[in-house]
């Protein structure tokens, strides 16, 4: 699922551009677990010029989490990668459900849960993700994750440089796939 500049601008103009301040928080922390995920998702489509977002594995411990992820640039465009402070940085989003239609509605209405931002990205991204290049990294952060929540991985923000078309001007991706804690 993506958020591009035109959608974000429309949400901000409508006054709905903030994330939900009341995230789903079950009563207790998830048990430690390791999940081999093998997720592969593409923006804007599965063929042609696209960014490919991959999640290999998710590790949850009593005091934090980590996710092994990759991004493949299968376009002719350079992308600048922003890991700085913003509502949509690299990390996890936690949901009450795995229903993608509910997530799409939350996205359109500007009521997505806040991102559990990665505090460590190792190795750090290249300043520019060049055409044909794959960047593989591990995202991690301290803090227990709530049991019973559905996890989606957030990748963002990628800014297409030069003459990149509108669908690559600003890309923030959160996965269609989920994992239940």
Please indicate, yes or no, if residue 132 is contained in any of the structural domains.
yes
Provide the token pair at 16: 């709905």
pLDDT higher than threshold 50 for residue 12: no
Q: Nearest 5 degrees, angle CA 61-CA 66-CA 67? A: 135
pLDDT digits (tens, 9 = 90+) for 89-98: 899 999 999 9
- pLDDT for the residue 2: 52
pLDDT at 175: 97
Average pLDDT of span 133-154: 97
Is residue 93 within 8 A of residue 107, CB to CB? The reply is: no
Domain that holds residue 9: 2-13+33-180
Give the residue, 2 or 16, on which the prediction is more confident: 2
| Residue 20 belongs to some domain of the structure | no
Are the C-beta atoms of 52 and 71 separated by less than 8 Å?
yes
Asked if residue 27 belongs to a domain, the reply is no
**Which residue in 81, 149, 147, 148 sits closest to 118, CA to CA?**
81
Q: Note the pLDDT tens digit of each residue in 51-79.
A: 999 999 999 999 999 999 999 999 999 99
Q: How many domains does the chain have?
A: 1
User: Over pLDDT 90: what percentage of the chain?
Assistant: 78
Q: Is the pLDDT of residue 38 over 50?
A: yes
In a domain, 92, yes or no: yes
CATH number at residue 72: 2.60.40
Work out the pLDDT band at 27, boundaries 50, 70, 90.
Answer: low
The model's pLDDT over 101-143, given as tens digits with 9 standing for 90+, comes to 999 999 999 999 999 999 999 999 999 999 999 999 999 999 9
Query: If DSSP codes are grouped into helix, strand and coil, which group holds residue 128?
Result: strand
**Whole-prediction pTM value?**
0.84
Give residue 7's pLDDT band: very low, low, confident or very high (50, 70, 90).
Answer: very low
pLDDT at 9 over 50: no
> Within a domain: residue 154?
yes
Residue 88 lies in a domain: yes
Mean pLDDT rounded to a whole number for the chain: 87
User: Is 24 within the bounds of a domain?
Assistant: no
Would residue 76 count as lying in a domain? yes
């Amino acid at each position: 699922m993506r958020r591009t500049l035109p959608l974000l601008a429309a949400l901000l103009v409508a006054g709905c551009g903030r994330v939900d301040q009341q995230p789903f928080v079950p009563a207790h922390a998830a048990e430690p677990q390791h999940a081999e995920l093998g997720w592969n998702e593409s923006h804007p489509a599965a063929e042609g010029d696209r960014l490919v977002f991959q999640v290999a594995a998710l590790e949850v411990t009593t005091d934090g989490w980590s996710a092994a992820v990759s991004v493949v640039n299968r376009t002719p465009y350079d992308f600048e990668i922003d890991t700085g402070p913003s509502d949509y940085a690299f990390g996890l989003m936690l949901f009450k459900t795995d229903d993608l239609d509910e997530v799409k509605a939350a996205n359109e209405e500007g009521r997505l849960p806040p991102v559990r931002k990665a505090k460590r990205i190792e190795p750090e991204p290249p300043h520019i993700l060049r055409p044909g290049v794959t960047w593989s990294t591990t995202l991690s952060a301290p803090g227990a994750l709530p049991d019973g929540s559905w996890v989606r991985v957030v990748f963002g923000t990628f800014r297409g440089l030069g003459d990149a078309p509108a669908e690559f001007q600003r890309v923030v991706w959160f996965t269609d796939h989920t994992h239940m804690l």
